[in-house]
Structure 1
Amino acid sequence: MWTEHWMNGMWVFPFIMIIVMLFVVFMIFGRGGFRPPWSNNDNYYSNKPKETPLDVLKKRYANGEISKEEFDKIKNDIIMNAESCDINDKGNSCCSSKPEVKEVNLKEHWNKVFTNSPDEKLGWYETDLTPTLGLISTTGLNKNARVLNVGAGSTTLIDELLTKGYSNLIATDLSEVALKRLADRVGEVNVECITDDLTNPSNLKNIAPVDLWVDRAVLHFFTEKNEQDIYFDLLKNKVKSNGFVLLAEYNLNGATVCAGLPIHRYSKEMLIEKLGSDFELIDNFDHTYLMPSGAERPYIYALFQKK
């Protein structure tokens, strides 16, 4: 009888052996305890992030496969092709934190930004100009005053000032693409567009002094002291006595990177120091700009008058 029961139960043993073998296979392969011979990938069982094109480029340069010139050129191409200035691209927005990038050709950079994105998709695009218009109103300047909007891009501020009757406007930017877009939209009557570099000015040196210098979100891109010095030297030379300076930059709580470029943030005290004793602070306030995506961008707005 025992033998009969044993014989009838023999079918159980193969089933048990199969379960044991599956368990062993799982422990060896499934838990990553063994590296199969068919895998030559260092990341086969690794949670390390996949190498980016920039990582690969750095390795090639370190191994002597490419020259410094080739490295810089390819790096710039990678950066400009990877970045996004679409407000709906929350993973890579214009003003999100990215690694600091140096040696970028800024003219090409900004031309590409404005070529690839319509105005309403740019991270700094605004429809509510109340903070800027309020400070301009505070100046009490007449509608014939010379107003210079630096780093204008394709700003809608020019449209609004024209609507209000201002007739002596100058818009300047490093990107001719942005200025062409602006000129195509507002026309050339009462507006002069000048392509120039605020950190290496040429055309701007030849313009007549202005009654109002307006800067919304360009000064904070100048992170080097020599760039800032050139900017403020130009400003001090081009603003008339009793003229005004309106600066709106990222405040100390603002983003550290915007449009893939590092940012130098400002406080009221820092702006006072940069302008020096020849300028008097008239008004200032913090303002949180809300992008259409809902992201917040904290600014410091300040209005100065030259003595």
Structure 2
Amino acid sequence: MPDRTTHWQNVYATKGEAEVSWFQDSPTISLDMIRAANPDRGAAIIDIGGGASRLADALLQDGYRDLAVLDLSANALDAAKKRIGVAASKVDWIVADATTWRPAKAYDVWHDRAAFHFLTDSGDRAAYVARLRSAIVPGGHVVIATFALDGPERCSGLPVQRHDSASLAAELGTDFELVETRSETHHTPWDSTQAFQFSRFKRRG
């Protein structure tokens, strides 16, 4: 099995934006949850595992000015930058693994619809949470979407770890309070369905 970076570089080198199961034309629930966190337009927001997602486009259109997108795949980020065009210069594009990355700044909102459920090893999940803790400000919000307990067991040829809000709360620890959780039946580009859950937490303090 190739390492994570090689795997995702290959995925985005060989498939178009709408040729992957997780493609969304509009990231509606992600946007709703970020807006519900009520960040001002200068708030620092990071999308973990953002890849070629259209969330950055939507947040720019909403007027947010301090955005970052982190992904293992430079190919994925390049696709997003090409799609967004000139406005892509307003986004901090970070090529890194969320389990080993060293955040250079603090964020008000941490969003992840793509990375956490691929962390099937407990050590990787602990490393991810350590980075999250070092990056999110007190009172900041964390939105994590994963495959739900009745969702797929594999994605893009890789095993996944399915979650609900309780298992995510256990991973994040008592410093984070669950604020809301929502279910989504995601329709893939080829008309199959996948069960997702979205949970938003607020850091205490």
TM tier, shorter chain?
A: over 0.9
Q: CA deviation at 1:157?
A: 0.5
Match of 2:147 in 1: 250
Supply the distance in 1 between the matched residues of 2:147 and 2:136 (Cα, whole angstroms): 23
Q: Distance in 2 between matches of 1:145 and 1:134?
A: 16
2:74 — aligned with what? 176
1:249–1:266 CA contact under 8 A, matched in 2: yes
Q: 1:197 matched to which residue of 2?
A: 97
Out of 22, 25, 29, the residue aligned to residue 124 of structure 1 is 22
Percent of aligned pairs sharing the same letter: 28
* 2:26 paired with 1:113: no
Mapped pair 1:213 → 2:113? no
Q: Whole-Å Cα distance in 1 between the matches of residues 143 and 9 of structure 2? A: 25
> Per the alignment, in what secondary structure is the counterpart of residue 89 of structure 2?
coil
1:214-255, CA deviations, whole angstroms, 9 ceiling, x for partnerless residues? 000210001001000000110011000000000000010011
TM-score by length of 2: 0.95
What residue identity is the alignment partner of 1:227? D
Q: Tell whether 2:120 aligns with 1:223.
A: yes
Shift of 1:180: 1.3
**Number of residues of Structure 1 aligned to a counterpart in Structure 2:** 202
Question: Which of 177-186 and 135-144 deviates more?
Answer: 177-186
Aligned 1:1-307 pairs, distance under 5 A: 103-186=1-84, 187=86, 188-201=88-101, 205-307=102-204
Gaps of 5+ in 2: none
* Local SS of the residue matching 1:189: helix
Contact 1:244 1:303 in 2 (8 A): yes
Question: What is the CA deviation profile of residues 76-130 of structure 1, one whole-angstrom value per residue up to 9, with x for unaligned ones?
Answer: xxxxxxxxxxxxxxxxxxxxxxxxxxx4222111111101111011111001322
Q: Within 1, Cα distance between the matches of 2:11 and 2:93?
A: 19
Calculate the TM-score normalised by the size of structure 1. Answer: 0.64
> What secondary structure does 2:169 align onto?
helix
Paired AA for residue 66 in structure 2? N
The 2-side partners of 1:189 and 1:112 are apart by: 25
Structure number with the higher strand fraction is 2
Letter in 1 for 2:48: V
| Runs of 4+ in structure 1 over 4 Å off | none
Deviation at 1:185, TM superposition (A): 2.2
Higher helix share: 1
- Counterpart residue identity of residue 83, structure 2: R
Alpha carbons 1:217, 1:250 under 8 Å: kept: no
Secondary structure, counterpart of 1:223 in structure 2: coil
For the pair shown, the structure with the greater C-alpha radius of gyration is: 1
Matching residue's letter, 1:161: L
Q: Does the 8 Å CA contact 2:103/2:135 hold for their aligned counterparts?
A: no
In structure 1, what is the Cα distance between the partners aligned to 2:4 and 2:171? 24
Larger RCO (alpha carbons 8 Å, 6+ apart): 2
**Once the two structures are superposed, what CA deviation does each residue of 1:174-201 show, in whole Å capped at 9, x if it has no partner?**
0011111112222433201010011222
